[in-house]
Structure 1
Amino acid sequence: MAGTVARDEIEVTVLLPCLNEAETLEVCVTKALRALNELGVVGEVLVSDNGSTDGSQEIATKAGARVSHAPIRGYGGALLNGIAEARGKYIIMGDADDSYDLSNLEPFVRELRAGHDVVMGNRFRGGIAAGAMPPLHKYLGNPVLSWLGRRLFGLRNVGDFHCGLRGFNAERIRQLGLCMPGMEFASELVVRAALNKYDIVEVPTTLQPDGRSRPPHLRTWRDGWRHLRFLLVFAPRKTLIWPGAIMFVLGLIGTGILTVGPLSVAGVGFDINTLVYTCLAMLVGAQLLLFGVFALIYGHNEGITNDKQADRWTRLIRFETCTAAGIVMILIGLAGSILAFSAWGSRGFGAQDLGEALRVVLPSSTAIGLGVMVLFAGLFSSLLSLRRVHAPVTSGQQADDEYAATGA
């Protein structure tokens, strides 16, 4: 087994995160070791222990597994430690509750050997036994989150986004620099693999009721929300940039039309009240758009994503460009404000026609607000890019390339 072979000879590590799994850990280790032997695979079973107090460590060692102590608490913390400590070229991770079929690892090994970076299990294709998955998870949570993952990240061939039995190329996954310590680690792995254009496939697997007498570690609403939040944050184009751009353009068109005068469509009148909301749409849309761009730039500069368009956005909203655009917007707003003030002065600063005054004041104040927002957006964008600007380089040409990429 693993203890009798050199590290570089181990092909597969079966990784089991563990926190007080004394009831089921031995059978999981036994099944995994038997599966590796039957396949003729040189491998090991690694139990990444998260501070168990029920003797799980001793049980794992006696069953033939290697135990590593995870310093970071949480499901993701245990897996991060296990990925770092694994000796195999490939890692197959699964829960230690005896719910996943660790005796049938052949599909995962086969696809990993074929060169795929990530091999996901699909419980819906393989079969979910009665009582193995709560109805809320089976008919709402998992299908909705899987659908959202496919829509946001283009994972058309992944039907079970949160299956806990999955395999991957160890070195490729280490290159991603995964960091989430909680249950959302499962989403982080597949999302960041997708964002970095990794080759992801899916194979059927089964799910049985787990063998523990205590409740599972998973908390439906808390962990479901953490998964949802992670998915939304890591798709800034579809959750921020495009909605923001659409809202801004619609607000701009509406503001331009209503600044000239009232509008009637199919007998419905639109006037100053509508103008208030079109101006608001411009401000909110611009804010969403900028937040999305910041997220895109940050993800690229920190190595979270490999988005080639991030450099283009960095050049577009660099400090100099945003300062110039912001000043122009502020000047336009000030010009409109002066015009409105002059019109008021021509009437002796007395009573005003609020409708006509607001038709100028609202767009003008919105332009000033947008100008200030864009001006400081350039400053913040420059802060996000500082590390990249000052990164060490190896040649004069490379330095020139880095300098040009920042738009400095």
Structure 2
Amino acid sequence: MKLSIVMPCLNEALTLPVCIGRAKELLATHLIDGEVLISDNGSTDGSQKIAASLGARVVHCPRRGYGAALQYGIQQAKGKFIIMGDCDDSYHFDEAYPMLEKLEEGYDICMGTRLKGKIMPGAMPALNQLLGNPLLTFVGRLFFNIATSDFHCGLRAFRRDKVMAIGLVTTGMEWASEMVIKSRLNGLRMTEVPVILYKDGRNRPPHLRRWHDGWRHLRFMLLHAPNWLFVYPGTALVATALILGVLLIRGQVQIGSANLGVHSLLTMAFMAIVGIQVIYAGLFINLYAHLIGLLPITSKFIERLKKFSLEKFLLAFAGVGLIGLGIFIGNFWGWYSQGYPALDIYVTMRQVVPALTLMTISVQGVFNCFMFSILFLKTRNTESTVIKDSLE
């Protein structure tokens, strides 16, 4: 079978007939060997009987959730290609043939884009259209370098085997983000075509919960982008602390009407320590995500890991600690040799604070390097075995 048109369904008795009719029209007009598959998610309004009476194949998803219904429907589908969309008549399936043509050209996924197509009056709330969808799309493009202009369009076409192979696991609305992100991370060929979003035919509010589901999408993207969540913010903290810290060691720094002195130097030390620990958290999560298969293992990732050597890093951090210890002992010896006089904090702090900071960074580095090495211990996890074998 060439094509399965999959629709998740939860109490859509009002709009289901017209959606099935449009899907069957697509198959008939273009002489496509295909099926209309309704993945029911526990409807109580008779949607299942309506769908079956109209010639659609109905499967019953045992788990609630938009993503769960779609994933189950894709698993049960018989077609080589899948076109998915909601059964609220917001997308017209009889207009989806250009998406199928893109798959026949060799693409793995074809996204619909409402932002390059047309949004009919009343089809999308103004806040979603002007803020929510553009913002989430921008974040997705920034984090994952994905060229699609509409991250969350509900009308999509793809090769069933390719999407089944990328390991989609979410069950809610964030499934839409997961599919795009994991497709990109796994190197699937993606394209997009303009589509029209129509005002849905429901006589009730949609299942979508704007803020709740928006946060779930954003959270999912952040958890799959540990560099943006941890490494880059941590690096910004360290860079800021380093630049201002070096200037403050030399003397006061004036920024506008603010005079920064030794107390600001202490703040910079705190920022550096926190920033470095945030970077370590990002590195741990990055490695762990690859070990458990959350992120795909690439040759580039393996090459980066090969550069890690516990012994070399331990020596480097020991050197950093010794520099800090040397500065601290030098200051203490000077104080001792003068008979413990009252200290001039404006002089002493500029030496002691950097010394203690270097010693703290050294301790952080030593213990975090051991923690990093622990993640490489032999386990039964398949992904971690692949990494370890590549490093040996």
The TM-score with structure 1 as length reference comes to 0.86
Q: CA RMSD in A?
A: 2.8
Q: Secondary structure at the match of 2:242?
A: helix
Q: State the match for 1:6 in structure 2.
A: none
Alignment of 1:104-143 (within 5 A): 104-143=95-134
Query: What letter corresponds to residue 9 of structure 2 in structure 1?
Result: C
| Alignment match, 2:170 | 180
Matches within 5 A, 1:277-316: 277-303=267-293, 304-316=295-307
Structure 1 residues 98 and 266: alpha-carbon distance in aligned structure 2, compared to 1, 3 A threshold: closer
SS at match of 2:42: coil
Q: Distance in 1 between matches of 2:339 and 2:211?
A: 62
**Secondary structure at 2:329's aligned position in 1?**
helix
Unaligned 5+ segments in structure 2 are none
* Matched residue type, 2:188: Y
Quick one: which amino acid aligns to residue 188 of structure 1?
A: E
Return the offset for 1:96.
1.5
Deviation (angstroms), 1:11: 1.0
For residue 215 of structure 1, report the CA deviation from its aligned partner. Answer: 1.0
Q: Distance in 2 between matches of 1:301 and 1:332?
A: 36
SS of structure 2 residue aligned to 1:205 = strand
| Unmatched segments (≥5 aa) in structure 1 | 1-9, 394-398
Q: CA deviation at 1:262?
A: 4.0
Alignment partners' CA distance in 2, 1:392 and 1:212: 45
Matched, 1:216 2:206: yes
Say if 2:2 is the partner of 1:11: yes
Q: 1:276 to 1:316 in 2, by over 3 A?
A: farther
Is the CA contact 2:318–2:362 (under 8 Å) kept in the aligned structure 1? yes
Aligned equivalent of 1:3: none
Residue 285 of structure 2 aligns to a residue in which SS?
helix
Residue in 2 that maps onto 1:361: 352
Distance verdict in 2 for CA 1:310–1:64, change over 3 Å: same
Q: Indicate conservation of the 8 Å contact 2:291/2:383, yes or no.
A: no
Could you say which residue in structure 2 is the equivalent of 1:5? Answer: none
Q: Sort the Cα spacing of 1:318 and 1:93 in 2 relative to 1 into closer, same or farther, 3 A.
A: farther
Q: Alpha-carbon deviations, 1:67-126, whole Å to 9, x = none? A: 222233211111121222221111111011111111222111111111111100112333
Give the aligned partner of residue 152 of structure 2: 162
The alignment's TM-score, normalised by the length of structure 2, stands at 0.89
Count of residue pairs brought into register by the alignment? 391
- Provide the rounded CA distance (Å) in 1 between the counterparts of 2:382 and 2:209: 42
Q: Is residue 73 from structure 1 mapped to residue 68 from structure 2 by the alignment?
A: no
User: Which of these residues, 49, 52, 55, is aligned with residue 58 of structure 1?
Assistant: 49
Provide the residue aligned with 1:382 in structure 2. Answer: 373
The residue that corresponds to 2:241 in the other structure is 251
Check 1:78–1:386 CA distance in 2 against 1; reply closer, same or farther (3 A cut).
Answer: farther
Partner of 2:22: 31
* Distance in 2, Cα, partners of 1:383 & 1:27: 57
Report the Cα offset of residue 327 of structure 1. 3.3
Structure 1, residues 362-382: CA drift from partner, whole Å, max 9, x if none?
A: 222222322232223223323
2:325 aligned residue: 334
